[in-house]
């Protein structure tokens, strides 16, 4: 339900169709600044009609864009990357305002968008086809063609970066895109649209349709949308994957996570403790790559003590931003309360956290809970807040058993000085992205991002080389121009 306040910091958000922001008379939802707990804008809740209009614009733009040579298409992204860098202060401030993350995290997010765009600029070099003379005078070649009109559905936790996981690659590869940002963080998408236009992207190649579930369902059902990428919770990833594929689209749906960090007794105490705390608390724990469960193997109390020290030294509001909403804060607090009631020991308590002057902000302080058992909800379910639970394990295999039992499979890490132990975890962790002495093992371009198990539905990865297959379809062509070539079974 939208607030009746007249003076909002940002005017009502509008959909972006055919290269312009358009007015529409749609129901509105309040958009909050989570650090203040106050309303800053309102976002329209679009439906099937708006999705259809977006598809109409994309369909008009598609023939010319898909036939533009890729080396020309990427020129837009060279300029877009420069614009992202030039406007980093403003873009990062927008991310901080709508999502709450602190300034350095927001800047890192925009820099990551620039890196993703840089990768797209290399696509002419790495997405080229193949050709081979397969028998005398007969050539087989493979060329990549765009899929057509595609859609990208984003979550709230990276308002700038996650849309840029798909925009540069999908569009550079010749597709026209409809972006559905999270209705909780709709501001960044409008600036992305403006910068793409300034970079020279033709009107209609990129659309933004705001809203929630209705837009997502309309995207999944629309007969002219050929591919859907989704990033969000596992619950919704399953809904989207089933619905999009049942209407015969290709779909890559990335879901939630429960990431395990295995800490061995030989791990470097300072590096490990600071990395683990940074991993669990960065972006207020609202990262699908955040440390969530620490498997403390054997004698690791000296490392845990340092972690507690690091966490206690963090200043809320300065080192750590708020979580996204009052509902999130209540959910996270409930998990901590339940774990404590079940016998876990809260070493660092972020409940009832307050920031002076921002008393209505949705803050949760860093929280470390020891002696959690694998059967507790907080050990199994995604908490999505700055909360780390510690489960004690007797050896690395014991730790791996707990990690392997998780239905998720985004990231896992091991902290150790032993190459043998590291290799054991690299081979046996049931996760798509594994780190050794790295708290947030996000692969950087050209390596691809993607989890396993219930952290990803569909084939392939969403970024880097792994995304090329998803955003293109290959055509296999066999040609014979040499009349002297003999006649054989291929003739």
> Minimum Å distance from CB 323 to ligand NAD?
11
- Contacts of ligand NAD in 216-235 (CB under 6 A): 216, 231-233
- Binding residues for ligand NAD, total number by CB under 6 A: 27
Residue 176 annotated to the active site: no
By CB under 6 A, name the one of 190, 282, 350, 451 that touches ligand NAD: 451
Task: Provide the edge-to-edge strand list for the sheet that holds 206-208.
Answer: 20-22, 15-17, 206-208, 176-180, 149-153, 225-231, 250-254, 456-457
Residue (80 or 156) nearer to ligand NAD, CB? 156
Pick the closer one to ligand NAD by CB: 13 or 254. 254
Sketch the per residue contact string, 73 through 92, with ligand NAD: x for CB under 6 A, - otherwise. Answer: --------------------
Q: 259-263 and 291-297: which strand pairing? A: parallel
Question: Which residue, 254 or 264, has its beta carbon nearer to ligand NAD?
Answer: 254
280: CB partners within 8 A, 6+ apart: 290, 291, 292, 366, 368, 386, 387, 388
Does the protein bind ligand NAD through residue 382 (CB under 6 A)? Answer: yes
- String marking each residue 102-141 x if it binds ligand NAD according to CB under 6 A: ----------------------------------------
Rounded Cα–Cα distance for residues 243 and 54 (Å): 20
**What are the tokens at 88?**
């980093």
Distance of CA 131 to the CA centre of its chain: 35
Angle value at C-alpha 236, between 232 and 240, nearest 5 degrees: 105
Residue 1 neighbours by CB under 8 Å, 6+ apart: 29, 30
Out of 18, 27, 56, 212, the residue judged to bind ligand NAD by CB under 6 A: 212
Report if residue 257 touches ligand NAD, rule: CB under 6 A.
yes
Does residue number 182 form part of the binding site for ligand NAD (CB under 6 A)? yes
String of DSSP letters for 270-309: HHHHHHHHHHHHGGGG-STTSEEEEEEESS-HHHHHHHHH
Q: Which is nearer to ligand NAD, 97 or 382 (CB)?
A: 382
Q: Is there binding between residue 388 and ligand NAD (CB under 6 A)?
A: no
Number of residues assigned to the chain: 491
Write out the two tokens for 437. Answer: 């002495």
- Does 455 bind ligand NAD (CB under 6 A)? Our answer is yes
Catalytic residues: 288
Which positions touch ligand NAD (CB under 6 A)? 153-157, 162, 180, 182-183, 212-213, 216, 231-233, 236, 239, 254-257, 288, 382, 384, 410, 451, 455
């Amino acid at each position: 339900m939208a607030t009746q306040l007249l003076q909002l910091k940002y005017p009502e958000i509008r959909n972006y169709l055919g290269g312009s922001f358009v007015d529409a008379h749609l129901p509105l939802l309040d958009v909050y600044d989570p650090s203040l707990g106050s309303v800053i804008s309102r976002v329209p809740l679009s439906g099937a009609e708006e999705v259809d209009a977006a598809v109409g614009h994309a369909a008009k733009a598609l023939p010319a864009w898909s036939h533009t040579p890729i080396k020309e298409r990427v020129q837009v992204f060279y300029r877009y990357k420069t614009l992202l860098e030039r406007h980093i202060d403003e873009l990062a401030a927008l991310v901080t305002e709508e999502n709450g993350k602190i300034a350095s995290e927001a800047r890192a997010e925009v820099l990551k968008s620039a890196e993703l765009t840089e990768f797209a600029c290399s696509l002419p070099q790495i997405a080229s086809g193949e050709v081979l003379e397969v028998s005398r005078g007969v050539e087989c070649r493979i060329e990549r063609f765009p899929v057509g009109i595609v859609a990208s559905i984003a979550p709230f936790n990276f308002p700038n970066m996650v849309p840029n996981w798909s925009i540069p690659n999908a569009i550079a590869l010749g597709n026209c895109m409809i972006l559905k940002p999270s209705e909780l963080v709709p501001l960044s998408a409008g600036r992305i649209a403006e910068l793409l236009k300034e970079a020279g992207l033709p009107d209609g190649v990129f659309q933004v349709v705001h809203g929630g579930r209705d837009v997502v369902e309309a995207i999944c059902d629309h007969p002219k949308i050929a591919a859907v990428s989704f990033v969000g919770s596992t619950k919704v990833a399953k809904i989207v994957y089933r619905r999009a594929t049942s209407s015969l689209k290709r779909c890559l749906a990335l879901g939630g996570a429960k990431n395990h960090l295995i800490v061995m007794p030989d791990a470097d105490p300072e590096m490990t403790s600071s990395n683990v705390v940074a991993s669990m608390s960065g972006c207020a724990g609202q990262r699908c790559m955040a440390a969530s469960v620490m498997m403390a193997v054997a004698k690791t109390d000296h490392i845990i003590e340092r972690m507690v020290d690091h966490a206690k030294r963090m200043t809320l509001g300065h080192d750590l931003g708020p979580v996204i909403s009052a509902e999130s804060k209540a959910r996270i607090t409930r998990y901590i309360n339940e774990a404590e009631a079940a016998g876990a020991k809260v070493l660092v308590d972020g409940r009832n956290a307050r920031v002076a002057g921002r008393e209505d902000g949705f803050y949760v302080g860093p929280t470390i809970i020891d002696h959690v058992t694998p059967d507790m909800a907080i050990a199994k379910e995604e908490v999505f807040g700055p909360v780390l639970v510690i489960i004690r394990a007797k050896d690395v295999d014991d730790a791996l058993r707990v990690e392997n039992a998780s239905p998720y499979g985004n990231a896992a890490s091991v902290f150790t000085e032993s190459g043998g132990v590291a290799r054991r975890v690299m081979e046996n962790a049931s996760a798509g992205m594994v780190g050794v002495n790295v708290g947030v093992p996000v692969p950087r371009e050209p390596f691809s991002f993607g989890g396993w198990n219930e952290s990803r539905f569909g084939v392939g990865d969403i970024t880097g080389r792994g995304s090329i297959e998803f955003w293109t379809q290959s055509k296999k062509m066999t040609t014979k121009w040499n009349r002297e070539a003999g006649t054989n079974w291929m003739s």
